[in-house]
């Protein structure tokens, strides 16, 4: 959907040339989020602004859906590209409905279509129709930022440019807005260029990361591949010494589920249960009821008679969709090296073992 070829931007000052963007080549497939990541002054925002021609390229081409943006009328180009920045700049004298409706009105959409679109976007942003007649000053910073995203999406543009859009929002609201955006993106499938200097945000949001340094792209790949196999020393240093731990947020519990370690069914407990449990070679077997729900676990090291009165409560549960960062935190919080994984309805799915989590990370690091 977005292709940059040999893209350059230079500035002249007092007879000296400064290179801001140096021969960038980048292809962003339709429906993907590409995060432009890097330190201040590396050229990522300049690159973004060249896509909608807020900054004119010095050399090179930019194509959207195969068409060179230089062939577009500049105003029409910008109306067909959503644009979200950190400083939201909602019009203070307009209601939220009027703010979101600006571009569709310019494009001549009928009133009923605009109204439907505004309501749909408010719902996607986790807000609602009660916000229609409010003014920006009546909203929190996080709510205003959501309206900024909704306004950028109002005319249903195929491409969305976002320049550190959540940078001015407090950490709690930022996480909420990121989650809402990811949920919305799964429905809309926009092609997104997203500038960030925050590694954790890039890992969370991106399908691909383009890591910039001094106007050039040092590495362009998926978050997992960049974390597992940095292409250069600069990339390795920028990601930090904890880059292996950062990969945990990209993996889910279901990837390391152990379904082979035995469990005991409550109905099978009997006078010879001790012999059966010893044969299983599992010192802490879970006991499940007839509905596949976890009742607790037995500790064979206590040399107790295996009966329901001696069950220990499970300290916590994890779920198949939990990321491994959450799983590791839960294991450490409860000072345990294993936990059961259960489905939304409480059914037992398998065991999570700390050793399997570590092994899974190590395997990916070797790829």
Tokens 């106007």 — which residue?
215
Q: Which one, of 177, 203, 54, lies nearest residue 125 by Cα?
A: 177
Last residue of a domain, one of 249, 268, 284: 249
Domain total for the chain? 2
Q: 305: which 2 tokens?
A: 């008679």
C-beta of residue 90 within 8 angstroms of C-beta of residue 99:
yes
98 & 208 share domain: yes
Dist CA 213 CA 168 (whole Å): 24
226 & 260 share domain: no
201 & 343 share domain: no
Residue 78, judged by CB atoms within 10 A of its CB (0-12, 13-18, 19+), counts as middle
Q: What are phi and psi of 219, to 5 degrees?
A: -155, 140
Contacts of 76 (CB under 8 A, 6+ apart): none
End-to-end alpha-carbon separation of the chain, Å? 29
Residue 100: what pLDDT?
A: 92
Last residue of a domain, one of 249, 277, 310: 249
74 & 187 share domain: yes
State the CATH number of the domain containing residue 227: 3.40.50.300
Q: 243: which 2 tokens?
A: 């880059």
Residue 9: what pLDDT?
A: 94
Residue 55: what pLDDT?
A: 93
232 & 337 share domain: no
> What are the residue ranges of helices labelled H in 229-353?
233-239, 243-246, 273-280, 324-333
Residue 95: what pLDDT?
A: 93
Distances (CA, A) of 241 to 97, 144, 238, 327: 46, 36, 9, 21
Residue 14: what pLDDT?
A: 83
Last residue of a domain, one of 211, 234, 249: 249
Residue ranges in the chain whose pLDDT is less than 70: 267-283, 300-309, 364-367
169 & 40 share domain: yes
C-beta of residue 87 within 8 angstroms of C-beta of residue 168:
yes
* The dihedral sign for the CA sequence 36, 38, 42, 45: positive
Q: What are phi and psi of 188, to 5 degrees?
A: -95, -30
Dist CA 355 CA 322 (whole Å): 17
Q: What are phi and psi of 173, to 5 degrees?
A: -65, -35
Inter-axis angle of helices 111-124 and 141-153, nearest 10:
130
Residue 302: what pLDDT?
A: 63
Residue 275: what pLDDT?
A: 58
237 & 267 share domain: no
171 & 141 share domain: yes
Residue 367: what pLDDT?
A: 43
Residue 309: what pLDDT?
A: 61
121 & 147 share domain: yes
Q: 316: which 2 tokens?
A: 């916590």
C-beta of residue 19 within 8 angstroms of C-beta of residue 10:
yes
242 & 358 share domain: no
State the CATH number of the domain containing residue 271: 3.10.580.10
228 & 288 share domain: no
Look up the domain containing 117 and give its range.
Answer: 2-249
C-beta of residue 64 within 8 angstroms of C-beta of residue 93:
no
Dist CA 57 CA 62 (whole Å): 9
317 & 185 share domain: no
Residue 280: what pLDDT?
A: 54
The number of beta carbons lying within 10 Å of the beta carbon of residue 191 is 21
Residue 231: what pLDDT?
A: 93
């Amino acid at each position: 959907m977005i292709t940059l070829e040999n893209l350059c931007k230079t500035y002249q000052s007092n007879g000296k040339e400064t290179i801001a963007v140096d021969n960038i080549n980048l292809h962003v497939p339709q429906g993907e989020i590409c995060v432009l990541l890097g330190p201040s002054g590396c050229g990522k925002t300049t690159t973004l602004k060249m896509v909608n021609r807020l900054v004119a390229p010095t050399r090179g081409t930019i194509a959207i859906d195969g068409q060179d943006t230089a062939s577009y009328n500049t105003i029409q180009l910008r109306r067909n590209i959503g644009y979200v920045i950190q400083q939201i700049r909602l019009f203070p004298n307009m209601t939220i409905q009027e703010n979101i409706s600006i571009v569709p009105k310019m494009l001549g959409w009928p009133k009923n279509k605009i109204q439907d679109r505004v309501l749909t976007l408010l719902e996607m942003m986790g807000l609602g129709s009660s916000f229609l007649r409010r003014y920006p000053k009546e909203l929190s910073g996080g709510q205003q930022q959501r309206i900024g995203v909704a306004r950028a999406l109002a005319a249903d543009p195929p491409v969305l440019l976002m320049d550190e859009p959540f940078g001015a929002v407090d950490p709690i609201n930022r996480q909420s807005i990121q989650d809402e955006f990811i949920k919305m993106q799964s429905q809309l499938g926009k092609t997104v260029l997203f500038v960030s200097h925050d590694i954790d945000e890039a890992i969370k949001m991106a399908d691909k990361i383009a890591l910039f340094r001094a106007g050039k792209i040092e590495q362009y790949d998926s978050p997992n591949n960049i974390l597992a196999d940095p292409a250069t020393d600069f990339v390795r240093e920028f990601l930090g010494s904890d880059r292996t731990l950062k990969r945990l947020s990209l993996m889910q519990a279901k990837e390391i589920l152990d379904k082979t370690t035995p469990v005991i069914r409550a109905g099978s407990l009997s006078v010879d249960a001790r012999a059966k449990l010893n044969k299983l070679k599992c010192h802490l077997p879970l006991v499940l009821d007839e509905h596949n729900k976890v009742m607790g676990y037995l500790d064979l090291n206590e040399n107790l008679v295996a009966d329901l009165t001696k069950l220990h409560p499970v300290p916590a549960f994890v779920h198949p969709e939990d990321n491994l960062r959450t799983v590791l935190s839960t294991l450490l919080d409860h000072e345990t090296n294993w936990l059961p994984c259960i489905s939304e309805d409480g059914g037992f799915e398998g065991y999570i073992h700390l050793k399997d989590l570590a092994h899974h990370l190590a395997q990916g690091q070797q790829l």
